[in-house]
Structure 1
Amino acid sequence: MKQLLIVAHAPSENTRAMAEAVLKGASHQDIDNVSCRLIAPLDAEPADVLACDAIILGTTENLGYMSGALKDFFDRCYYPCLEVKQGLPCALYVRAGQDGTGTCRAVETICTGLRWNWVQPPLVCRGDWQEGFLEKCSELGMNVSAGLDVGIY
């Protein structure tokens, strides 16, 4: 059984719904060989990353940057995972009040340093809240999980 880790900062009702939509999509009934786990960045440990086969990161855009909670996750997990998890398939979604560019760039820079492999471009949910964000998040989770399930990565 492969492990998909979802590390998502979800400080509001809407961002919690987004994280749960990613988890729901990743746990689709047709995906047989993937176990999914959703965890808050402040609760995630290096051992969680070391145990996973792919990771989806979720964050809010805070002052044009990732959330402090996700940055803290990277600060604690970077060196313990650096040599061991090279090539880890990863994806990102951002709840952005603005354009999300700085947030994506910051996360991409850290993941490039970790030598993780992007499996798709970041999903940036911009502007005012839209119910369609949930469908996009569910699709993200399902796509990553399905790719892991069939051995694409």
Structure 2
Amino acid sequence: MKNLLVIYHSQSGGTERMAQAVYAGCQQDEDVETRFLRAFDATLDDLLWADGIIFGTPENFGYMSGALKDFFDRTFYPAEPHQINLPYCMFVSSGNDGTGAVREVDRIVKGYPLRKINDPLIIVGGFKDEHQQKCEEFGLGMAAGLSLGIF
């Protein structure tokens, strides 16, 4: 059994809807156990437990959410001796284009080091019903990749 960690932050609810749909997709793979945590609740122990990570954040002022940045601040240096070389991907809810948040997360996680396994899922302009399936497929793709040993 592989372990998949979904860490996200949402203030207005859009990213949370994405996160719930991504999590639903992860749960479709019975060979993967998934933890679903808000960024303020996730810890180094969760990182050490995980075989892969999905980050979720809104783009705020061209940057990731403060809560996700807080997670990185709390875990980066304690994680250093562990060389947590895990696959990751991310999803972003954005009013603009989401690239600022993606760029900054990618920059920080190289130091853990984490390995980016696919392009981010970016939804611009708010979560709509038609995004549900895309988010579920995103989560299932990561879970299936872990369970099959692709990542």
Distance 1:11 1:112 in 2: 26
Distance 1:104 1:87 in 2: 19
Alignment of 1:140 onto 2:138 = yes
Taking a change above 3 Å as real, the CA distance of residues 14 and 127 of structure 1, as seen in their structure-2 partners, is: closer
Taking a change above 3 Å as real, the CA distance of residues 100 and 57 of structure 1, as seen in their structure-2 partners, is: same
Distance 1:148 1:129 in 2: 27
- Structure 2 contact 59–95 (Cα < 8 Å) conserved: yes
- Structure 2 contact 4–33 (Cα < 8 Å) conserved: yes
Q: CA deviation at 1:78?
A: 0.8
How many matched pairs?
A: 151
- Structure 2 contact 88–117 (Cα < 8 Å) conserved: yes
Q: Which residue of 1 aligns with 2:114?
A: 116
Q: Which residue of 2 aligns with 1:17?
A: 17
Q: CA deviation at 1:134?
A: 2.2
The TM-score normalised by the length of structure 1 is 0.92
Alignment of 1:103 onto 2:118 = no
RMSD between aligned residues: 1.3
Gaps of 5+ in 2: none
Q: Which residue of 2 aligns with 1:86?
A: 84
Distance 2:27 2:10 in 1: 19
Q: CA deviation at 1:10?
A: 2.1
Name the stretch that deviates more: 126-135 or 5-14. 126-135
Gaps of 5+ in 1: none
Identical positions, percent:
42
Q: CA deviation at 1:102?
A: 0.9
Q: CA deviation at 1:81?
A: 1.8
Taking a change above 3 Å as real, the CA distance of residues 129 and 150 of structure 1, as seen in their structure-2 partners, is: closer
The TM-score normalised by the length of structure 2 is 0.94
Q: Which residue of 1 aligns with 2:39?
A: 41
- Report runs of 4+ in structure 1 exceeding 6 Å deviation: none
